[in-house]
Structure 1
Amino acid sequence: MMNSTFNASNSSCVVMNPSAGHLLMSIYIIAFVLGLLFSLVTIGPIIQQICRKNILGIYLLSLSVSDLLYILTMPLWIYYLNNNHKWTLGQGLCSMAGFFYYSNQYISIFILCCISIDRCLAITFPLRVQAFRRQRYAWIISGLVYVSVMALHCLVLYLDKLEDPLDDNDQSCYETFPMTERIAMFNLIRVGVGFFVPLVILTICYCLISNKVQQSTGVDMQGKRKVRLLSIGVIGIFSFCFAPYHILLMIRSIIFFSVGEQQSCFFEQAMYIPFTCSLGLSSLNSMVDPVLYVLASNGVREDMRLFCWKNKQRQMTGSPLVGSKWKTRVINLS
């Protein structure tokens, strides 16, 4: 995998800054606590929407499952950073933690694209696409995203012989410097396919949604403002969480091809702290996903209020609620 000049350890190429590790650990702790809390709080209303034949609920559940899988590996990364980048938990856990990190990142990106495309088609071509907007299709699409992303990462691990991601000397987990030619090429491909293409799709979809809603006479000013702010929020948060990581990853890969493996160590050292910070930002998507698409929805937000109100009534009366307060409603996806 690596040139023999640098085979001794990562420290011969990049000296890991402890302050960067502490910053990243702090971000992981915040993302773990809030991400787990938000996911658990919103999972009930999401399932409620699926029971009501809501297609958006299926995509939200797909996001939540992916986020939870990654969130549950965060304590491993926190332990690793607190242990001064020394992984003592074994090869299997290191491989699993890395696998779920990268899988979650791109599952989240492509599920966000699916949600954006679905919303765009539902608003701009409501009659033409009605026959194709079915729950079973949403399940199939979500399943294909999971299978494709995970299969691709398994293939990459196999081709690059990363059965043992641990460095033999310093026991760092997935922090091998410098990168190899194959990994650099793969990085450029996944930046293009996994970030820039989805960003273009998101931008086009929400521009179409915004234009359609603004032209509509059946939507009041408050509704139009909500759609516009949601569109800006989706693209803004997408860029905030994923753009820094992918842009720096692209720059690192281009520099590697430009100056070669040995000379790239100087650049890797200079980019270590910024790239570490970008890793922290990318992990925040597990905290942002439920807030962005669940709390922004009137239907799901009302469900959460009903859940809280129902529990409060049970505590006051000691009996379950029945009746008209818990009637079924149809959520408006636009």
Structure 2
Amino acid sequence: MNTTNTSNCGIDFKPGSNQLMTIYIIVFVVGLIVNLITLGPIIQQVRGHNVLGVYLLNLSISDLLYTLTMPLWIHYYHNNHVWTLGRPACLIAGFLFYSNMYVSIGLLCCISVDRCLAVKYPLHAKVFRKCRYACVLSAVVVLVVMGTHAVAAWLNYDLKAQVGCYENYPLTIHVARVNLIRVAFGFLVPLLLLTFCYFKIFQGVQRSIGVEDRWKRKVKLLSIAVIVIFSFCFAPYHIILLLRTAVFYQDQANSCPFENQVYHYFTVSLAMSILNSVVDPILYVLLSNGVKEDMKNMARFPFRRKRQLGSRTFSILSTMLSQNPGSTIR
């Protein structure tokens, strides 16, 4: 079927498809391996009633669901943006892909707020930093994000009309409205929240007399890395999404020329956003010295249940609740 007609602004989907497939294949393989490897230590944290472990477990599950949709999109790009797996499968794949992207963002915000409270208000926050509250908050994030995407998909999606899958060229008025919500509450607000939280975290560590300079530098690098990686993965996609929406609102009848100009940049930015599913576990888990020890222990004793495994995991910030932070940060 021809996918370069007026119904999709005359965009030629073929150039760049091989590069997109390559990126998605790499992310699928690496993301699946990394998330599965880190799942064990995270589960140990949950068993040890670690609040951060609850958020990370939900984040890992979200990233795994996100990653498992990759083969469907690889098939889609290989088939020159023609969806041949049935419209219900397209609806489910797109729903899981986009909703889990924003579930991940929401959980990253939860982790950042939790770390900020642990550092700035260790005594007062201890009352609220319980596993049951983390479970409830994680559930709220999942329900709000998935509920919003379910309603949006139900109102806009036609099970029979489209050749492609979740590609609207030009935009419709409904999709444009949803895009504004996604940019505002799915990117800008989380970015501001992450920046504020990690600024407060670094500020709190800097003022702590008991923390050694090398650990202060480590926390600073971690804080900067979170913001940089978040911006790298999600900023290009949401900026172009906002531009597309702004041009559509300016001249709804003649937005196709702009869609043609930015299409390939937009697909590259979307590919950049999926890198987050690989970076999440590396950033929040593998940068901690304790998790490496946990993995070694799990490799040595794969059939033994040891609650002490994971006790040092994620200790860069979480152990600052101790009375002597200088001796407990690992």
TM-score, normalised by the number of residues in structure 1 = 0.89
Q: What letter corresponds to residue 212 of structure 1 in structure 2?
A: G
Aligned residue for 1:109?
105
CA distance in 2, matches of 1:217, 1:165: 65
Do the aligned residues in 2 keep the contact of 1:91 with 1:166 (CA within 8 Å)? no
Distance 2:291 2:78 in 1: 38
Alignment-mate amino acid for residue 229 of structure 1: L
Equivalent in the alignment of 2:202: 210
Q: Are residues 1:158 and 2:149 paired?
A: no
> Which has the larger displacement, 22-31 or 105-114?
22-31
Give me the whole-angstrom Cα distance separating, in 1, the residues matched to 2:110 and 2:155: 29
2:54 aligned with 1:54: no
- Could you say which structure has the greater relative contact order, defined with CA pairs below 8 angstroms and 6 or more residues apart? 1
Q: In the alignment, which residue of structure 2 is the partner of 1:64? A: 60
Distance 2:155 2:120 in 1: 43
- Does 2:41 match 1:45? yes
Give 1:330 shift. 5.4
Q: Is the 8 A contact 1:255 1:264 kept in 2?
A: yes
1:329 to 304, 311, 315: 311
CA positional deviation for 1:20: 2.0
Please say if residues 10 and 176 of structure 1, whose CA atoms lie closer than 8 Å, have aligned partners that are also in contact.
no
* Residues 182 and 211 of structure 1, relative CA distance in 2, 3 Å threshold: same
Distance 1:69 1:165, change over 3 A: farther
CA contact (8 A) 2:16 2:264 kept: yes
Which residue pairs with 1:78 in the alignment?
A: 74
Match of 2:323 in 1: none
**In the superposition, relative to structure 1, how do residues 209 and 12 fare at CA in structure 2: closer, same or farther (>3 Å)?**
closer
Select 1:303's aligned residue among 276, 294, 297: 294
Which of 272, 278, 293 is the matching residue for 2:284? 293
Question: Any conservation in 1 of the 2:24–2:271 contact (CA below 8 Å)?
Answer: yes
Whole-angstrom CA distance in 1 between matches of 2:161 and 2:278: 28
RMSD: 2.0
Distance 2:128 2:35 in 1: 29
Cα distance 1:127–1:83, how it changes in 2: closer, same or farther (>3 A)? same
Give the TM-score taking structure 2 as reference length. Answer: 0.90
> Counterparts in 2 of 1:1-334, with a 5 A limit?
13-160=9-156, 162-164=157-159, 167=162, 171-260=163-252, 262-310=253-301, 329=311, 332=315, 333=318, 334=320
Structure 2: which 5+ runs fail to align?
Answer: 321-330
% same residue = 50
Q: C-alpha displacement at 1:322, in angstroms?
A: 9.8
Q: Is the 8 A contact 2:187 2:234 kept in 1?
A: yes
Q: Aligned in 2, Cα 1:99/1:322: closer, same or farther, shift over 3 Å?
A: closer
CA, structure 1 residues 327+208, in 2 after alignment: closer, same or farther (shift >3 Å)? Answer: closer
Does the 8 Å contact 1:178/1:264 carry over to 2? yes
Q: Is the 8 A contact 2:291 2:312 kept in 1?
A: no
- For 1:254 and 1:272, how far apart are their aligned partners in 2? 15
- 1:297 is displaced (CA, Å) by 2.3
